[in-house]
Amino acid sequence: TKGELHMVGRLHADRERPVLLTVLGAFPPKAQKHDLVTGLPDESVLVCRYPGMHSTTWKDPSPLTVAEALDEFISAHLKGRKIVAYGLSTGCLVTLNLQSSEVCHQVAQEPFLNTAHLGPFIAYCRRFLEIEPNNRALANFIWTIFGISRTDAVDRDYRVFRSNSSLPLDLIVGARSPESATKAWPSFTREEDRRILLDRPSARLHVGPEGTGHDVEPTPEARAMVKAVLSAVLASV
- 107 contacts 128 by C-beta, under 8 angstroms: no
Element (H, E) at 220: helix 220-236
- 65 contacts 2 by C-beta, under 8 angstroms: yes
Closest Cα partner for 33 from 234, 228, 237, 226?
226
Q: Is the pLDDT assigned to residue 182 strictly greater than 70?
A: no
- What pLDDT digit, counting tens, does each position of 141-153 carry? 999 999 999 999 9
**Confidence tier at 59 by pLDDT (50, 70, 90):** very high
Mean pLDDT of the chain: 95
Instruction: For residue 202, count other CB atoms closer than 10 A to its CB.
Output: 10
3-state SS class at 11: coil
Q: Is the pLDDT assigned to residue 158 strictly greater than 90?
A: yes
What span, in angstroms and rounded, lies between the C-alpha atoms of 154 and 146? 8
Closest Cα partner for 45 from 21, 68, 74?
21
3-state SS class at 140: helix
**Confidence tier at 177 by pLDDT (50, 70, 90):** confident
Query: Phi/psi of residue 53, each to 5°?
Result: -105, 100
Percent of the chain exceeding pLDDT 70 equals 99
Q: What's the DSSP call for residue 163?
A: S
pLDDT for the residue 184: 81
- What pLDDT digit, counting tens, does each position of 96-122 carry? 999 999 999 999 999 999 999 998 999
CA end-to-end span of the chain: 30
pLDDT for the residue 86: 98
Q: Is the pLDDT assigned to residue 1 strictly greater than 80?
A: no
Q: Is the pLDDT assigned to residue 18 strictly greater than 80?
A: yes
pTM of the shown model: 0.96
Closest Cα partner for 115 from 164, 151, 157?
157
- What pLDDT digit, counting tens, does each position of 46-55 carry? 999 999 999 9
**Confidence tier at 178 by pLDDT (50, 70, 90):** confident
